[in-house]
Amino acid sequence: MILENKALWLDVPTRWNSTYEMLDRALLYVDTFKLLAQIDPMYKNLPTDDEWERIIRTHELLGPFCDIARMFFGSKYPTSNLYFENVWKIDMFLKEQLDCNDPIIRNMVMDMRPKFDKYWSAYTLLFATILDP
C-alpha cells in the first residue's frame, strides 16, 4: 500500500537544489519502486541496494545546502550573523565529508571545495574590511 501522495520530481539542470528535491521524493518511494520491479517486467531501472545507499548519502550531502538556502531565500533581511554562522557550518560540513568512505561522495566534495573556498575567501575579505576599516 502506498502511503505517500507527493509527486516525483525531475532533476532540472538550471536549478541546483532540484537534485536534492528529486532524491528527497524518490526516497519516499523506495518500497514502491521495489514493488513495481516485482510486478512489472518492463520496469528495468530499479537501483540496487548499493545505489540506494549512495542516493541516501548524496541526499545527506546536499541537505545542509538546501536547508541554508531556504533560510536565506525565505528571509527578507538575511543578516550577517546568519550568513557567517551558516557559511561556517557548510565549511565544517565539507571538511567532515572529505573523510567519507564513499569515493564518489568524497570526489564530489573535493570538486565543491575549490568553489566554496573561492567565494568564501572573497566574502571574508569584504566583511573583514567592513567590520574593521
Using the predicted structure, report yes or no on whether residue 53 has a pLDDT greater than 90: yes
pTM: 0.74
State how far the alpha carbon of 120 is from the alpha carbons of 31, 78, 91, 116, in Å: 41, 17, 9, 6
Mean pLDDT of 95-121: 87
Contacts of 72 (CB under 8 A, 6+ apart): 78, 82, 83, 86
Using the predicted structure, report yes or no on whether residue 41 has a pLDDT greater than 70: yes
Q: Cell 516525483 appears where? A: 8
Residue type, 13: P
Using the predicted structure, report yes or no on whether residue 97 has a pLDDT greater than 60: yes
Which of the residue ranges 4-8, 41-45, 87-91, 118-122 has the most confident prediction, judged by mean pLDDT? 41-45
Secondary structure (3-state) at 90: helix
Contacts of 117 (CB under 8 A, 6+ apart): none
Mean pLDDT of 79-102: 82
pLDDT score, position 119: 75
In terms of Cα–Cα distance, which of 25, 20, 35, 34 is closest to 4?
A: 25
Using the predicted structure, report yes or no on whether residue 36 has a pLDDT greater than 70: yes
How crowded is the C-beta side of 76, counted as CA atoms within 13 Å? 0
